[in-house]
Amino acid sequence: MTLPDAGLTDHQRIAAASMWQTLEPETIEAMLSAGEDVRLGAGRYLFRSGDAYRKCIYIHLEGTLEQTSASGDVRTAEPGDVIGLASYLDGDNYRSTAHAVSDCRLLALPGATVQRLEQESGPFFEAINRALASRMRKARQVRETVRGTLARPVRQFMSSGLPTCGNADTVGDAARMLADREIGSLGLVDEAGRLTGMLTPTRLLMALINGEASPTDSVHAIEADNAFSVTPETPLWQVEEIQRRHRVRDVIVVDHDNVPVGLMSETGLIQALAKPPYTLDSELKTAPDVETLVTLRRKIHVAAAAVHAAHRSAGTAVRALTEMHLALQHRLVELVIASMVQDGHGRPPARFAVMVMGSGGRGEMLLRPDQDNGLIIDDRVDDAGLDWFREFSERLNPALDQVGYRLCPGDVMARNPDYRRTLGDWKDKLTNLVENPGRREARLANIMLDFTTLYGDDSLTSRLRAHLNQQLVDDRGKMLFRMMVSDDAKIAQPLSFFNRLVTTSHRGSQVIDIKRTGLRIIVDAMRVFALKESISRCKTLERLASLRRLGVFDPDFAESMRIAFEELQDLLLTHQLDQIERGETPDPLLRMERLSSHDRERLRVSLRATRRMRERLQYTFGVVMN
């Protein structure tokens, strides 16, 4: 068999392929050294659909090769294209057919080599991840919506962390940042980090066309667009008014020194105002007693099932679930305070905030959450006031247990003095956590550091969050982050070396704990990355979006994690709703015999994506994973 000489080396063919364009020359040489030359005569098949995976990928080098998908689509491979990548990602049989139209030459790269290069080369890792993201996009498209109200402060909805450019950046740098991160605007800042204007793709393009600046000029050579800004406490309705009156899409959120801390986009506003269908909010807010709340608590799953059925979106259903859980707990706090007054203890003697932590703090409560809460008390409280809050907490936690929220096994509850503190004592606790993290404290940090206000003075919670962010700047949280990541390293994922599902036995079924081995890995990873970047939002997908905007994750990696998170969330919620229909107590253990082949594939691909998140954690924090 002879092949025409196209005048290019194999190195050049690979380097020119769109998938591999960012690779370092030494990585391409490593691929060529480890690979085996494969020659395929015209009319021969490289593999057929259903053939066993050969534990390698093929890189097309020369000749005409056609690949036919399971749906019948035919694609002609270009030099440098990867053949059989889906089977490498999934460890499963080939699902397409590869056929040589003319004599072909390919490079067979062992799967073990691919895995090694993923660990050693960041560009190689990202190239493989782009392929995974593309696969997941085709499998599922989801629409995100967020509940909200115009009266609430913008900090509850903004995207944390605004990408900015300054004196050291050129027009070309700004253009690349906008393109690479797929964002619509950049903040322009002075030497002190203060906001001076905004740059958009349109503004950069017009400056180049008009000869106002060249790609190598400083961004300050361009007359930037006006930047409309608000503070984090600005109500959402004012942001809407600014966007409508000035016809702008993005409003920048700045602190008291005019330093950008976030962004409220037009899309974000639309999402914030979107409402799910009927829930129990009105009944929960007006419940006259604890017994009524007990009854309503038993109806929450019915309302959640209605939302899920209407939208077929786990994200919408989980948000509705969380809103109902928090509305119930908020009303219970009011009833406990009323009981304190009725029993002669009087009203709260000082400003305070009841915090909800863990899944409640992230807005990701499902059907059977337990209690994770704490109490922040104003520093000016006296001893008698502290006694009032002790009594209040001793009543609150048992009342929550009575209505269906189990007592926290780790005792992360307001009745525990360690989680009932003045603001100053809370600040000291978090400072000590950052400076002297122990293994137990690091484990609890994965619950405690996702906190938000359930009831009371939200400014206390906001000040505590600001203090935490301040303690973590300049890489001072490095040891805490390593210990938080190490805690997750003990979790063995239910995937074999070749990405087949690995189950355990439980009461006659083969099961997978989807919460511990799937969702938790993404949630915990987003928490560590977000804390490292001083992102104040707690919801997992909002953290992910902020990290993408800041350039921590590229768009493909972020997209694959978003889809994986929502797929796992949907599988878990559907499973728990089915358990309730069967009269079972909801748990996170997926029964394999109850999953369709489609759902098993969703589970496997999503767990494959979470494995990549663990690998990313390992690269970033230097912790060896299971």
**Residue 182, by phi and psi: left (phi above 0), alpha (psi -120 to 50) or beta?**
left
Amino acid type, 334:
E
**CA distances in angstroms from 623 to 123, 127, 472, 492, listed in the order given:** 20, 23, 19, 14
* Tokens 């659909």 belong to residue: 49
Q: Angle at Cα 440 formed by Cα 435 and Cα 443, nearest 5°? A: 90
- 218 forms beta bridges with 170
Q: Is the pLDDT of residue 624 over 80?
A: no
- Mean pLDDT throughout 381-387? 96
Task: Give the number of residues written for the chain.
Answer: 626
**pLDDT reading at 507 higher than 50:** yes
Instruction: Indicate whether 405 pLDDT > 80.
Output: yes
Integer Cα distance of 572 and 601 in angstroms: 14
Average pLDDT over the chain, rounded to whole?
Answer: 87
Q: Does the pLDDT value for residue 4 go beyond 70?
A: no
Angle among Cα 365, 319, 490 to the nearest 5 degrees reads 40
Q: How confident is the model at residue 2 (pLDDT cuts 50, 70, 90)?
A: very low
Tokens of 90: 């999934």
CB-CB contact of 625 with 524 (8 Å): no
pLDDT value at position 134? 64
Residue, of 159 and 451, whose pLDDT is higher: 451
User: What is residue 359's three-state secondary structure?
Assistant: helix
Whether residue 1 has pLDDT greater than 60: no
In this predicted structure, the answer to whether residue 581 has a pLDDT above a threshold of 70 is yes
Q: Point out which residues pair with 233 in neighbouring strands.
A: none
**Tokens of residue 430, six digits:** 């978090």
Residue 275 has pLDDT above 60, yes or no: no
* Homologous superfamily of domain range 154-273: CBS-domain (3.10.580.10)
Contact assessment for residue 613 and residue 522, using Cβ atoms and an 8 Å cutoff: yes
Average pLDDT score over residue span 439-446 = 85
DSSP symbols for 501-536: B--EEETTEEEEEHIIIIIHHHHHHHHHHHHHTT--
pLDDT band at 433 (very low <50, low <70, confident <90, very high): very high
Q: Tell me the per-residue pLDDT of 74-125, one tens digit each, with 9 for 90 and over.
A: 789 888 888 988 788 767 788 889 999 999 999 999 989 998 898 788 788 8
User: Does residue 181 surpass a pLDDT of 90?
Assistant: no
Please state the rounded mean pLDDT for residues 187-199: 89
Q: Which residues contact 279 (CB under 8 A, 6 or more apart)?
A: 303, 307, 320, 323, 324
List Cα–Cα distances, 242 to 27, 155, 246, 355, in angstroms.
Answer: 50, 16, 6, 32
Phi, psi of 239 (to 5 degrees): -65, -45
Strands 97-100, 65-68: parallel, antiparallel or unpaired by DSSP? Answer: antiparallel
Q: What is the pLDDT confidence band of residue 39, given thresholds at 50, 70 and 90? A: very high
Helix (H, G, I), strand (E, B) or coil at 176: helix
Residue with tokens 């209690």: 371
pLDDT at residue 484 is higher than 80: yes
Task: Judge whether residue 357 has pLDDT over 60.
Answer: yes
Average pLDDT over residues 419-443: 92
Please choose, from the candidates 340, 427, 416, 450, the residue with its C-alpha nearest in 3D space to the C-alpha of residue 385.
Answer: 340
Looking at residue 22, what is its pLDDT? 85
Please give the span between the terminal C-alpha atoms of the chain, in angstroms, as a whole number: 46
Cβ-in-10-Å burial (0-12, 13-18, 19+) of 298 comes to exposed
148 pLDDT higher than 70? no
The reply to whether the predicted model has a pTM over 0.75 is no
312 has a pLDDT exceeding 70: no
pLDDT at residue 470 is higher than 70: yes
Report the DSSP beta bridge partners of residue 301: none
Per-residue pLDDT tens over the stretch 590-618: 999 999 888 888 898 899 889 888 888 87
Say which residue, 152 or 300, is predicted with more confidence: 300
Share of the chain above pLDDT 90, in %: 45
Q: Answer yes or no: is pLDDT of 366 > 70.
A: yes
Q: Average pLDDT of 520-532?
A: 94
Q: Residue 340 pLDDT > 80, yes or no?
A: yes
Among the residue ranges 37-46, 121-130, 579-588, the one predicted with the least confidence is 121-130
What are the structural domain ranges in the chain? 10-139, 154-273, 278-474, 477-626
Q: Which residues pair with 105 in a beta bridge?
A: 39, 62
Please answer whether residues 239 and 151 qualify as being in contact, where contact means their C-beta atoms are separated by less than 8 angstroms.
Answer: no
Question: Is the pLDDT reported for residue 146 higher than 50?
Answer: no
β partners of residue 164: 187
Tell me which CATH code domain 477-626 carries.
1.20.120
CATH of domain 10-139: 2.60.120.10
Question: Looking at the domain 278-474, which fold is it?
Answer: Beta Polymerase; domain 2 (3.30.460)
| Pairwise pLDDT comparison (203 vs 347), residue with the higher score | 347
